[in-house]
């Protein structure tokens, strides 16, 4: 399997996470100092605390996605390790964040790091977590995933529009999506979900099964990978 990554973007976003996290600590510290030492500037301290909190959330988002190893793209690499050479895995090097192209078809991969049990209740995805630590992580440091199907549809539309510039629309194979949960503590119980939803350890067996059922041809795979080179 070939892996293509936009290392420049990954490194840039990791630095953004570091800078925003450090900035949030400084601003939060300043806000706390003002609130205790300069109570007459209460409005300023509240504003600093609010800005610091927002920056901390930005820092957590960028840190989890790009600054902490193993990153989501690295976990996907591990989960798909050993796939044949006619597969190409793109990370931030195509119109969508994570894309797998090969005999299984064209697959958008949406990684999540939720803990606990992942379920689909007929309308949206939820994570059922237990204990203080998992409850805390549910509020802080985890991405919202209530409607990832809408994200998948938006990514699919974006990718299709990019491919149409290089390939006639009728020749573009179906674009599919899979939700992949990467936490070791996650348990996935979402067989009824409208978008394939699975734990990382089941991703490779799933793609191998899809390859047995897919109708994509070698010519179509080459056309897509060539189009992504030109994009």
Examine the domain organization and report whether 28 and 84 are in the same domain: no
**What is the Cα 191 distance to its own chain's centre?**
20
Examine the domain organization and report whether 8 and 120 are in the same domain: no
Examine the domain organization and report whether 29 and 53 are in the same domain: yes
Which of 67, 95, 120 is the C-terminal boundary of a domain? 67
Examine the domain organization and report whether 97 and 192 are in the same domain: yes
Which of 67, 87, 116 is the C-terminal boundary of a domain? 67
Examine the domain organization and report whether 40 and 100 are in the same domain: no
> Where in the sequence is the domain holding 223, given as residue range(s)?
72-230
Work out how many domains the chain is built from and give that number.
2
Amino acid 66: pLDDT: 85
Examine the domain organization and report whether 91 and 31 are in the same domain: no
Examine the domain organization and report whether 89 and 189 are in the same domain: yes
Average per-residue pLDDT for the chain: 90
Examine the domain organization and report whether 6 and 81 are in the same domain: no
What totals of helices (H) and strands (E) does the chain contain, helices first?
Answer: 7, 9
DSSP character at residue 85 = T
- Residues 118-165 pLDDT 10s: 999 888 898 876 554 444 444 444 556 668 999 999 999 999 999 999
* CA-based R_g, the chain, Å: 21
Which of 67, 87, 121 is the C-terminal boundary of a domain? 67
Dist CA 180 CA 159 (whole Å) = 19
Examine the domain organization and report whether 205 and 93 are in the same domain: yes
Examine the domain organization and report whether 100 and 58 are in the same domain: no
Examine the domain organization and report whether 94 and 188 are in the same domain: yes
Examine the domain organization and report whether 159 and 45 are in the same domain: no
User: Residue 76 burial by CB count (10 A; 0-12/13-18/19+): exposed, middle or buried?
Assistant: buried
Amino acid 134: pLDDT: 47
- Residues 34-93 pLDDT 10s: 988 888 888 999 999 999 999 999 998 888 888 888 999 999 999 999 999 999 999 999
């Amino acid at each position: 399997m070939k892996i293509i990554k936009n290392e420049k973007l990954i490194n840039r976003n990791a630095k953004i996470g570091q800078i925003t996290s450090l900035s949030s600590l400084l601003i939060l510290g300043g806000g706390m100092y003002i609130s205790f030492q300069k109570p007459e500037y209460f409005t300023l301290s509240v504003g600093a605390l609010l800005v610091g909190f927002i920056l901390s959330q930005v820092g957590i988002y960028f840190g989890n996605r790009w600054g902490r190893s193993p990153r989501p793209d690295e976990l996907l690499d591990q989960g798909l390790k050993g796939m044949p050479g006619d597969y190409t895995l793109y990370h931030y090097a195509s119109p969508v964040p994570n894309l797998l192209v090969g005999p299984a078809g064209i697959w958008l991969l949406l990684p999540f790091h939720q803990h606990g049990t992942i379920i689909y209740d007929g309308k949206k995805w939820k994570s059922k977590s237990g204990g203080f630590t998992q409850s805390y992580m549910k509020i802080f440091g985890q991405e919202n995933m209530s409607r990832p199907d809408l994200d998948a549809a938006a990514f699919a539309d974006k990718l299709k529009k990019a491919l149409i510039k290089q390939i006639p629309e009728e020749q573009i194979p179906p674009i599919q999506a899979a939700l992949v949960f990467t936490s070791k503590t996650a348990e996935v119980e979402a067989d009824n979900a409208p978008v394939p939803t699975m734990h990382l350890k089941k991703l490779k067996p799933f793609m191998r099964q899809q390859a047995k059922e897919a109708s994509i041809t070698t010519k179509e795979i080459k056309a897509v990978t060539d189009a992504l080179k030109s994009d």
